Each structure stands twice: as C-alpha cells, then as structure tokens.
C-alpha cells in the first residue's frame, strides 16, 4: 500500500493509477478513497492518471486525534501533490471533499491546478447564520455528532437512506451500496469523524471561492437531502470567477455512486471542454 507521511507524522494513504493528465479525487465524510472506485476505473480507461487519498482520520490513513480541520486537510493534499510531483492537475471533490478541493485550490493550487469540479459539495457554508439564513440548523449537526459518537455503527447504516435518496418513492435500494458506505465509514477513526462534523457544517468558503481563477464545475442536485441545493451549490457557482453550474432535478447526494454513468459523462465533457 502507498502512504506519505506529512509534517505532523500522520500517514496518508493514496491510490495512484495510470498515466496522462492527473485527476485527484477527494472523498466525503466519513468515507475513503474507495468511494471513487467507479470514477477511477472510468477515467483510467479514458487515459487519465487517477489519484485518490484517504483523508486523515478516514479509511486507511492515521486515526488522528488532532489536525481534523479544513486548513490541515488542504495542507495534507498539498503535501501529497508535492510528493507525487503533480502539475496541470484536475481536482474533483464530493461533499466534504468538495470543500477540501476549494480550500486546496485557493490556498495551494496556484500554477498546479488546471480545473476543478465539486459534486454535492458543502461550500460556501452549511450552517444557518445571519449571513446564511437558508442554512441548516445546528440541531441537525448535533444529531450527526451524537450518532457518530455514541451509535456509530447503526447511525452509519441509517444515514445511507437519505444520502442515496432511498426514501424517495419508487427508488430501488441497493444493499451493496449501503453496505459499502458503512464499511468505509467504520474503517475510519471515530474522533476524526466527530471533529469533521464541525468542519463540514461550520467552515466558510466565501473568500476561497472568490479567489479561484481556474474553471470550476459545480454539480448539484435540487433534491440533495444532505447539502441543500439552495444553501450550497447554487450559491457557490455565483461566487466563482469561472464557474459552471450543472444542476439535476431529482438525483441524491450520493449521485456519483447511484448515477455514475450520468456524473462521469458530464464530468468528462467538462474536462474536455
């Protein structure tokens, strides 16, 4: 297995397959690089070099007690990009990973990033506030914290239902997809996952979005039950200098998995544009 050791001693696991222009995939909470398997296979077959890492505290990376914050996540990515000597890279992030992409590109990506895409992502911010009156109430995130800290195994099974839109009429449930989400979640560290709830709910990306000067594709569904469209995707697009919004009517938060053929095709079209 491939790891790098970052400056605080944390070991970050990564996959690195193929040759060609690199695409770096950033996963959501509380998952791992494995959540990108379908995209990795698809873009590998289209001639890209595909890379995905397990964020600190997630998957096979060190189960960290500290450093579970967005600035450190982005700094870890910078160390990975430097170690792999990546240039002209494309960064693609889902959910919390979309926030990681935006923070990385804004703080570290100058001269290294060609394009970026964020899917069902958390920017510009999730939590309700005077600045974000349509945001999600803190009580929702407190429930996620409680479930993570005290009922993690069951909670990680239950959350797959809204995550993949399996509570919508007529939707066929895939037990394999649910089991794989649970498997990935339970691989990671509970302390890091608990801390990450604050990261994905309270981090603000307004300034990051405004300074990014490369093309960014924002992919978001109007029926996202985790990162509401009007709070996140629709607002992020308006803050970007070179943003493109691709919205969907009724796909779930986890659409890269449930509707991989749609997401992969739209993402490929953006990369080739």
The full length of the chain comes to 273
**CB distance 116 to 92 below 8 Å:** yes
Rounded Cα distance, 53 and 45, in Å? 19
- Catalytic pick from 53, 58, 224, 236? 224
Q: Is 224 a catalytic residue?
A: yes
Specify whether 247 is catalytic: no
Which position among 32, 95, 120, 236 bears the catalytic label? 95
Q: How far apart are CA 163 and CA 227, in angstroms?
A: 10
Cβ-based neighbours of 231, under 8 Å, separated by 6 or more: 125, 126, 132, 134, 135, 136
Check: CB of residue 263 under 8 Å from CB of residue 255. Answer: yes
**Which residues, 6 or more positions from 125, have their beta carbon under 8 angstroms from its beta carbon?**
131, 132, 135, 202, 203, 204, 205, 206, 231
Which residues are CB-neighbours of 35 under 8 A, at least 6 positions away?
27, 28, 94, 181, 184, 256, 257
Task: Give dist(CA 97, CA 51) in Å, integer.
Answer: 14
Q: Which of 26, 27, 193, 253 is catalytic?
A: 253
Q: What is the DSSP secondary-structure string of 216-246?
A: EEEEEETT-SSS-TTTTHHHHHHH-TTEEEE
d(CA 258, CA 163): 10
Look up 253 and say whether it is catalytic: yes
Q: Catalytic amino acids? A: 95, 224, 253
């Amino acid at each position: 297995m491939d790891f790098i050791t970052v400056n605080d001693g944390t070991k970050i696991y990564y996959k690195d397959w193929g040759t060609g222009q690199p695409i770096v995939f950033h996963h959501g909470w509380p998952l791992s690089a494995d959540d990108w398997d379908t995209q990795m296979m698809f873009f590998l077959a289209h001639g890209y070099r595909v890379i995905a890492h397990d964020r600190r505290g997630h998957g096979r990376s060190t189960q960290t007690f500290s450093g579970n914050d967005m600035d450190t996540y982005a700094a870890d990515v910078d160390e990975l990009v430097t170690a792999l000597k990546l240039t002209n890279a494309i960064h693609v992030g889902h959910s919390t990973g979309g926030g990681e992409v935006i923070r990385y590109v804004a703080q570290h990506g100058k001269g290294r990033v060609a394009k970026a895409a964020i899917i069902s992502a958390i920017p510009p911010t999730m939590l309700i506030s005077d600045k974000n009156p349509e945001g999600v109430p803190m009580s929702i995130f407190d429930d996620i914290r409680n479930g993570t800290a005290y009922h993690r195994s069951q909670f990680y099974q239950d959350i797959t239902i809204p995550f993949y839109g399996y509570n919508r009429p007529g939707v066929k449930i895939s037990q394999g997809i649910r089991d794989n989400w649970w498997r990935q979640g339970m691989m990671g560290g509970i302390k890091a996952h608990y801390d990450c709830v604050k990261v994905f709910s309270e981090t603000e990306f307004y300034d990051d979005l405004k300074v990014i000067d490369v093309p960014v594709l924002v992919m978001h569904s109007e029926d996202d039950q985790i990162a509401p469209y009007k709070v996140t995707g629709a607002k992020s697009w308006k803050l970007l200098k070179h943003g493109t919004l691709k919205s969907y009517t009724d796909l779930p938060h986890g659409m890269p998995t449930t509707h991989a053929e749609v997401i992969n095709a739209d993402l490929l079209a953006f990369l080739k544009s």
